[in-house]
Chains A and B, each alone.
Chain A
């Protein structure tokens, strides 16, 4: 079945440093979503990427979808303490009976030291 791998598992940064998490799928994806989960909270949707090579920005966050639609990344510029949490990618397969199913990566836990 489809597998989505995410690295690194943990990332500790000083406030102001940049942060990147990477996501790789074993199969081609129709789209990929990113979610953020604050400590003690539930996952909250950040963005969806659909097109090959797509790049989207949200303030200090930059999201990329690979040309082959099998990998994605999230980059945060100049991290702030409010960025603390776990970032998950979630991929949707290219078709089939479970088109609605998302496969989540294991997440990257980001810690920001002030």
Chain B
């Protein structure tokens, strides 16, 4: 079946512009996560959605970052007034639940964002 997809795969933008990154999770997965990975670094948690619950936004680095998940499926991560330090690979992952426990996360291929 289809995995997690993300678009665009690459995005080059100028400092100060807004960008939108899209994630299509695996169908039926109720949990959706956004991470940021800088070159050679680990995964920095940004935000997490679970069903209809309020999202956990504790990882968003500033108020320039926001995300939404429409209809419990597709998610969009928006970065306003981009800065050069926002350059990174943005990874989306989704996960299902079994008997209340979370299963493994399936990652998309990521969006490489470059801010000039």
Query: Which residues on A are within 8 Å of B, measured CB to CB?
Result: 1, 6, 33, 35, 42-45, 48, 88, 90, 92, 97-107, 109
Contact = CB atoms under 8 A, between A and B. Distances in A.
A92 B102 contact: yes
A98 B35 CA distance: 15
A107 B31 contact: no
B95 A100 contact: yes
Determine the interface band of chain B, counting residues with CB < 8 A from chain A: 20 to 34
B65 interface: no
Nearest to A30: B101
Nearest to B109: A42
Given A98-B58, A100-B50, A103-B45, A109 B104 contact: no
A45 B106 contact: yes
B20 interface: no
Interface in B8-62: 31, 33, 35, 40-43, 45, 48, 50, 56, 58
B86 to A, nearest CB: 19
Given A42-B91, A42-B110, A101 B104 contact: no
A1 B58 contact: yes
A48 to B, nearest CB: 6
A98 B42 CA distance: 20
Contacts of B109: 42
29 contacts: A33-B104, A42-B91, A42-B107, A42-B109, A43-B91, A43-B93, A43-B105, A45-B104, A45-B106, A48-B103, A48-B104, A88-B43, A90-B43, A98-B48, A98-B58, A100-B48, A100-B56, A100-B95, A100-B102, A101-B56, A102-B45, A103-B45, A104-B42, A104-B43, A104-B45, A106-B41, A106-B42, A107-B41, A109-B40
